[in-house]
Structure 1
Amino acid sequence: MEAFLQTYGYWAILIGTFLEGETILVLAGLAAHQGYMTLEGVILCAFAGSLCGDQMFFFLGRRHSDFLLRRRPAWRGKLERAKRLADRFQTPLILGFRFLYGLRAVMPFAFGISGVPVLRFVWLNAIGAGIWAVVVGVAAYLFGSALEQVLGDLRHYERMLFILVAAVGATVWIIYLYRRNRRRKSGDTRFDVKEKT
């Protein structure tokens, strides 16, 4: 595990946080606590991955929103809700959307559509990515430290601990997908925007 994490760990953080990655960052923070990676390296990779991923979605929203919404019509309701929030609470949302589970993937896209100036989004997105990477990375590191106080040497439990964190992350994601599909099948329109008459 040590050799694998030292060889591929930083790349895994970069790619995982590019796609969306609280679970990846929590695992990485725990791995940093165990000495497999440095906390600074974990935070830097998480910052870079998150920043680049969200910038990509911002520019996709800016340039290709019609094409993407035709391919992903399920995004339309959530995107309309996100766009309303983006128009109303622009600065705090750009800084904090990474902490909003379920809206995180669609918010940068919504900011791209809403006409937020590019430089404004880039700067605020960079600050938000830095805050997110530090808060989640350090929290996971400290969680590892607290567990060590309770359990003693975590090397005896680390595989089980990593599997448990990954399983919790996967379970949350599956529940989210299940609930979204159920809403869609039942015709729940809570996230749809009614046309003004």
Structure 2
Amino acid sequence: MEDWIIRLVEWGGYWGVAALMLLETVFPPVPSEVIMTVAGVSAARGSMTLEGTIVAGTAGAMLGNWFWYWLAIKFGEARMHVFIDKYSRWLTLDWDEVERGERLFERYGSTIVLIARMIPTLRSLISVPAGLFKMSLRRFLVFSTIGTLGWSAALAGAGYFLGSQFGDVEKWLGPLSTAVIAAIVVTYLWRVVTWKPKG
């Protein structure tokens, strides 16, 4: 997977980084860990600036974040209830948990969004409850942007360091990409196997 990410970043520059991060946010199995690390490596080699890379990655991810937020608002609570009841096993989620999440959002919504933006997998999915529980767009954008900027900066900074310290950095990216995807799959399968309704 890292090969086409490298090619798109090299070909598209900042636009390529933004497009990949948008794709990652809309389709979480595409790992931001690899995208922003590759972008940081490219910045270290002089094809982009580190600051520009971070801004591009944040902008692309925020567009995807807003998409999920908007979609959750349009989908609505009633249809979401039916959907979760039907697919609770595969979502590893039931409606009682959604209601508990809503109560938490009422009290700590801004903090939850901010922290979730820096946690793999959750960083993409947190937009759905934010929209479903009608978090204000202003708060959503402010705290999402802060968290997303921090996440993008950390990953791009790590790639920048690798690119400036090691010549053959590509040998690190293959195992990294594989490990990230494997961890996502294993975590999901474990949740499916062990999940039980709490209601």
TM class by smaller structure: 0.7 to 0.9
SS in 1 for 2:122: coil
Opposite residue 166 of structure 1, the aligned amino acid is: S
Alignment of 1:83-162 (within 5 A): 83-145=102-164, 148=165, 153-154=166-167, 157-162=168-173
1:182–1:34 distance in 2 versus 1, CA, 3 Å: farther
**Is structure 2 residue 190 aligned with structure 1 residue 179?**
yes
Are the counterparts in 1 of residues 66 and 127 from structure 2 also a CA contact under 8 Å?
Answer: yes
1:130–1:4 distance in 2 versus 1, CA, 3 Å: closer
Question: Residue 60 of structure 1: which of 37, 53, 71 is its match?
Answer: 71
CA distance in 2, matches of 1:103, 1:193: 20
Across the aligned residues of Structure 1 and Structure 2, the Cα RMSD in angstroms comes to 2.9
1:17 — aligned with what?
A: 21
CA distance in 2, matches of 1:38, 1:62: 36
Question: Residue 42 of structure 2: which of 26, 31, 34 is its match?
Answer: 31
2:93 — aligned with what?
A: 77
TM-score by length of 1: 0.74
Higher relative contact order (CA 8 A, sep 6+): 2
| Residue identity (%) | 21
SS in 2 for 1:99: coil
1:102–1:182 distance in 2 versus 1, CA, 3 Å: farther
Structure 2 residue runs of 5 or longer lacking an equivalent are 26-31
Question: Residue 57 of structure 2: which of 39, 42, 46 is its match?
Answer: 46
Q: C-alpha displacement at 1:67, in angstroms?
A: 4.7
1:6 — aligned with what?
A: 10
Give the greater-gyration-radius structure (CA).
1
Opposite residue 75 of structure 1, the aligned amino acid is: L
TM-score by length of 2: 0.73
1:115–1:29 distance in 2 versus 1, CA, 3 Å: same
How many residues end up aligned between the 2 structures?
Answer: 180
